Chains A and B, each alone.
Chain A
Amino acid sequence: MCSVKSAMWRGLILGGLLLAFLPSQAAMAAPQYWLDPAGPVAEMQGRLFLLTLWIMIGIFVTVSGVLVYTLVRFRAKGAAAAGSAPGGAAARRESAAAGEQDLPPQIEGSHKLELVWTLIPFLLLIVIAIPTVRYSFALAADPEGDPIKVRVVGHQWWWEFQYPELGIVTGNEMRIPVGRPVELVIESDDVIHKFWVPKLAGKMDAIPGRVNRMWFQADEPGVYYGQCAEMCGTHHANMRLRVVALPPAEFEQWADNWGRGPVVTSEAERQAVERGRQVFETRACFGCHSIEGTAARGVAGPNLTDIGLRTTLAAGILENTPENLARWIDDPQSVKPGALMPRVGLTDSELNDVVAYLRSLR
């Protein structure tokens, strides 16, 4: 019997652990922990989640409390309990015989009680239903203020971000100004993907043949992680993205400088960059990738115009360092088996030049 009781306690302790855990340091440090929101949309969604969480915890504690009390209070005692012991037929017979003298009242129900536990859940649901309806419509409305438009296109397995008003295209890293709503138009180029940046907003599907819309806004500068949330093939797990929220002035500066070409600091670097650019424009690279202001106009892979500024490579799985860039270009299949980028087969010097060139695009 005490094992039943201890199990219930175990359940309660687990529930308590959840409560202790949610606001804890470890959770706050998790880059996709969305109860620590960075903008109004995620904040509203998180608030509704917490409302439901607290009501459910209240119900859980109440119901499991009554259940535990019932189990302790009404356990069969003496011989009647023997039927539960592994004593075989004799014990069961004894238990049945004992039960004969100890038959509990055969209560078949109570409409009054049943009405009570129909109405109480109903009232609690209304408490959840009202903000559900309100928030659903509020979040579907156009954002206030002066939104910036971004077209999101999902590809196997990377994200394309187009800024139609600014003439900018980037891959896997979306730069946005702090404090301004971002209107997202979400589409897909191949299979169904799901766009998700937890600290900024919930998910929206990218479905081929359809156009979905949502918006979010970052209130603080920072780097916000996201990733595809719809199973889309081999590298679904590695289809990650980041949203970099910049102070408005910095964002303007980035937008103005986008596509202005390589930034070099020495003559030697300039020459390497020039050689790298020639490699890029003559070998397979340009067939799939675009770089503003060059002959590279491919659209199968991410636009690399500002790749030197990005924090990650290969859709969020590698830090953007020269070593990782070289590793990725040299043999993409060893980094991400099944990725759609082939091995081009550059010589070591070509590879170094291309890396120098791409690093200078910032």
Chain B
Amino acid sequence: MATTTLERSFWQALPKPRARTGFWSWVTTVDHKRIGILYFWTALAFFLIGGVEALLIRLQLARPEQDLVAPDLFNQLFTMHATTMIFLAIMPLTAAFFNYFIPLLVGARDVAFPKLNALSYWMFLAGGIFLNSSWVLGGPSDAGWFGYPNYSLSEFNPGLGVDFWIIGLLLAGIGTLVSGFNFIVTILNMRAPGMSLMRMPMFAWATLVTSFLIVFSFPVITVALLLLLFDRVFGTVFFDVFSGADLTLYHHLFWVFGHPEVYIIVLPAMGIVSEVLPVFSRKPLFGYSVMVFSTMLIGFVGFGVWSHHLFTVGMGPVVNTIFSLATMIIAVPTGIKMFNWIGTLFGGRLRFTAAMLYSLGFLALFLIGGLTGVMLSAAPSNTQIHHTYFVVGHFHYVMIGGALFSLMSALHYWGPKMFGRMLDERLGKVAFWTLFVGFNLTFFPMNILGVMGMPRRIYTYSAGMGWDGLNATSTLGALIMAVSILITLYNLVTSLRNGERAPADPWDGRTLEWAIPSPAPEYNFARLPNVSSRDELWVRKHPQLAEGAAVAASAESDGPAEPIAMPGGSYMPLLVSLGLFIAGYGLLYSMPVFVGGIVLSLLGLIGWGFEGDNMRIIQPGGEQ
């Protein structure tokens, strides 16, 4: 009895963060909104790094036979550009909006596991810093974002670059995986009363399906990377040709992850657009239930098409045609979504705000990305366009035209809720048009370059190939895109300082996040909403729209106004990821450091388990 008390008092004696403002409050926060904002700024920083890498690539290719960037550096640049943009920029930017808005959209006060959520962020930051630290520790990997062995094995890649790449991705991958579980549980278990699955906003659906894709696909890449790491660090022979390895095993493992990864990036983008278009059309989303099932279908079929990246590895005509046809099938639900978005606009009262322009830009550009994707699905002609600039053009129409444009839309649409300030509309529109023109100038010529036989990942080309003009155009476009990004940054920085204060509902919104003040208070909802409709706030604003039998939605039926218990901060998530971060370097440089890092991480986990929840009682209204 005495010992238990002693134990309890020991654990309670663990330091618990008390800071509510300032540096330590951010470092120890478990608030989904603060974590979302951390994700946002960190991902933005990595986005700028990836953008500079892209500009260097474009400058080297602006003219034939340039010596601006040496061949090995060029290979490192495209490897790091892709890895950074996918894992450290686009996905975490998406995660920023998941974090800030999923609890608001489903009417919850936080995610299901707030501390795990903090761990996700710190693992992402650890992975990102680890990966990029290779620039000053002997140079990053030059093996491409796919890291195919045997080129990525020690025999052909003796430096530490590939190891940094593998461990960086493993660290960031832990964060992503944890996040996937967290959002599945949050969306399935934390919805407000009355918010049935089929009343969830589309962005919540997109997040749910995306989270399942993460949970099923990230273990596969984790295994592939570990096998590669074992080959490099411990001398195993998983990918050793002379020991009978078949290198295409890695191809398949990588793309079983790699193709769902495309949908991990694109489904949230589709979700964002499905939120923005109805608001600025003043109409509900057209064909909500079909949109939901299309999202699920894309996610499901997305796991069965990976080999369309491998039509030239020699799989034979049977396998090739199966994957061709499966890939074509994906065009059907994607097409339905496109038409339903246009159906949403049709008959509406369209307001062309910056957020709306970016979402419309998404429609136009993602259309091109999707259509070129269907062209790539036909195996016989794929062998010509495969690994050419046609593919580079295609997936940038998906990754930028699709994902980045929708994220920009989200920034202008949700930014006021996140930061409490309106972004400047005029600058937003200027930035949109600059990006739209620059983007098309950069990437449309690439489609043609592919048809003219320019392969990917070449650091130089001869003057006689007929590729000069299009490459110069493309580089010019990239510079214009850079200008647009600078305008957006300027807009962001000045608006957050001096912008107009954001009201609760600046856009005449439809969903729950607009029912609470901007920025959202720590507890989100003073009274948990009682949901009776898909567009809950919209129906509350327009009671005449409530459907016959449904109880008219109103604030009266919301939960009671009472003191709210919110989890306080914790040092442990930071400690766990710091330990793993140190262990990563230890694995490459010194075993004692590795062990020290692991021990630190384990101590963090033990503290996590016993420190208690550090709950804080908040009286809503009392704080504002």
Chain A residues whose C-beta falls within 8 Å of the C-beta of B340 in the assembled complex: 109, 114
Chain B residues whose C-beta falls within 8 Å of the C-beta of A4 in the assembled complex: 352, 357, 360
From known contacts A31-B453, A102-B349, infer whether A209 and B317 are also in contact, taking CB-CB under 8 Å: no
Chain A residues whose C-beta falls within 8 Å of the C-beta of B226 in the assembled complex: none
Chain B residues whose C-beta falls within 8 Å of the C-beta of A109 in the assembled complex: 286-290, 340, 343
- Chain B nearest CB from A239 CB (Å) reads 9
Would you give 5 A-B contacts (Cβ < 8 Å), ordered by A?
A: A27-B451, A88-B422, A109-B288, A129-B325, A207-B248
Cross-chain contact A106 with B283 (CB below 8 angstroms): yes
Chain B residues whose C-beta falls within 8 Å of the C-beta of A338 in the assembled complex: 71-72
Chain A residues whose C-beta falls within 8 Å of the C-beta of B316 in the assembled complex: 140
Chain B residues whose C-beta falls within 8 Å of the C-beta of A227 in the assembled complex: 455, 458
Interface set, chain A 245-263, CB cutoff 8 A to B: none
From known contacts A191-B156, A202-B383, A230-B387, infer whether A99 and B352 are also in contact, taking CB-CB under 8 Å: no
Interface set, chain A 84-141, CB cutoff 8 A to B: 84-86, 88-89, 92, 95-96, 99, 102-111, 113-114, 117-118, 121-122, 125, 128-129, 131-133, 135-137, 139-140
Cross-chain contact A128 with B374 (CB below 8 angstroms): yes
Interface set, chain B 319-334, CB cutoff 8 A to A: 320-321, 324-325, 328-329, 331-332
Q: Is B48 an interface residue (CB 8 A)?
A: no
The chain A residue with its CB closest to the CB of B278 is A106
Q: Is B386 an interface residue (CB 8 A)?
A: yes
Cross-chain contact B388 with A27 (CB below 8 angstroms): no
Inter-chain CA distance A86–B495, complex, in Å, is 13
Cross-chain contact B312 with A35 (CB below 8 angstroms): no
- Chain B nearest CB from A146 CB (Å) reads 23
Cross-chain contact A108 with B288 (CB below 8 angstroms): yes
Give a binary string over B345-385; 1 marks a CB under 8 Å from any A CB, 0 the rest: 11111111100110010011001100110110111111111
Cross-chain contact A63 with B384 (CB below 8 angstroms): no
Chain A residues whose C-beta falls within 8 Å of the C-beta of B433 in the assembled complex: 3, 7
Cross-chain contact B455 with A84 (CB below 8 angstroms): no
Inter-chain CA distance A137–B316, complex, in Å, is 9
- Chain B nearest CB from A248 CB (Å) reads 27
Cross-chain contact B371 with A202 (CB below 8 angstroms): no
Cross-chain contact B286 with A202 (CB below 8 angstroms): no
**Which of B357, B374, B436, B503 is close to A56, meaning CB atoms less than 8 Å apart?**
B374
Q: Is A231 an interface residue (CB 8 A)?
A: yes
**Which of B328, B381, B384, B542 is close to A125, meaning CB atoms less than 8 Å apart?**
B328
From known contacts A11-B364, A83-B351, A136-B321, infer whether A103 and B452 are also in contact, taking CB-CB under 8 Å: no
From known contacts A7-B436, A52-B378, infer whether A236 and B386 are also in contact, taking CB-CB under 8 Å: no
**Which of B328, B374, B375, B384 is close to A198, meaning CB atoms less than 8 Å apart?**
B384
Inter-chain CA distance A134–B373, complex, in Å, is 20
Inter-chain CA distance A95–B437, complex, in Å, is 29
Identify the stretch in A73-81, A341-349, A354-362 within 8 Å (CB) of chain B at 4 or more residues: A73-81
**14 more CB-based (< 8 A) A-B contacts, given A74-B349, A118-B332, A118-B336:** A4-B357, A18-B444, A60-B367, A67-B364, A80-B351, A92-B507, A128-B377, A156-B156, A204-B312, A205-B313, A205-B314, A210-B247, A230-B387, A231-B143
Identify the stretch in A40-48, A175-183, A268-276, A290-298 within 8 Å (CB) of chain B at 4 or more residues: A40-48
**Which of A32, A81, A113 is close to B453, meaning CB atoms less than 8 Å apart?**
A32
The chain B residue with its CB closest to the CB of A137 is B317
Chain A residues whose C-beta falls within 8 Å of the C-beta of B384 in the assembled complex: 34, 42, 45-46, 49, 198, 202-203
Cross-chain contact B379 with A132 (CB below 8 angstroms): yes
Q: Is B7 an interface residue (CB 8 A)?
A: no
The chain B residue with its CB closest to the CB of A132 is B378
Q: Is B613 an interface residue (CB 8 A)?
A: no
Cross-chain contact B388 with A80 (CB below 8 angstroms): no
The list of the 3 closest CB pairs from A to B, nearest first, reads A32-B453, A202-B383, A30-B466
Chain A residues whose C-beta falls within 8 Å of the C-beta of B375 in the assembled complex: 49, 52-53, 56
Q: Is B233 an interface residue (CB 8 A)?
A: no
Cross-chain contact B339 with A237 (CB below 8 angstroms): no
Chain A residues whose C-beta falls within 8 Å of the C-beta of B331 in the assembled complex: 121, 125
Q: Is B573 an interface residue (CB 8 A)?
A: no
Q: Is A289 an interface residue (CB 8 A)?
A: no
The chain B residue with its CB closest to the CB of A50 is B381
The chain B residue with its CB closest to the CB of A120 is B335
Inter-chain CA distance A85–B351, complex, in Å, is 9
Chain B residues whose C-beta falls within 8 Å of the C-beta of A29 in the assembled complex: 466
Inter-chain CA distance A21–B449, complex, in Å, is 11
Interface set, chain B 456-475, CB cutoff 8 A to A: 456-462, 464-467, 469
Cross-chain contact A237 with B378 (CB below 8 angstroms): no
Chain B residues whose C-beta falls within 8 Å of the C-beta of A35 in the assembled complex: 451
Inter-chain CA distance A229–B387, complex, in Å, is 6
Cross-chain contact B284 with A71 (CB below 8 angstroms): no
Chain A residues whose C-beta falls within 8 Å of the C-beta of B448 in the assembled complex: 18, 21-22, 27
Cross-chain contact A33 with B387 (CB below 8 angstroms): no
Q: Is B545 an interface residue (CB 8 A)?
A: yes
From known contacts A46-B384, A121-B331, A132-B321, infer whether A205 and B312 are also in contact, taking CB-CB under 8 Å: yes
- Chain B nearest CB from A141 CB (Å) reads 9
Inter-chain CA distance A190–B149, complex, in Å, is 11
The chain B residue with its CB closest to the CB of A75 is B350
Chain A residues whose C-beta falls within 8 Å of the C-beta of B281 in the assembled complex: 74, 104
Chain A residues whose C-beta falls within 8 Å of the C-beta of B346 in the assembled complex: 70, 74
Inter-chain CA distance A170–B449, complex, in Å, is 30
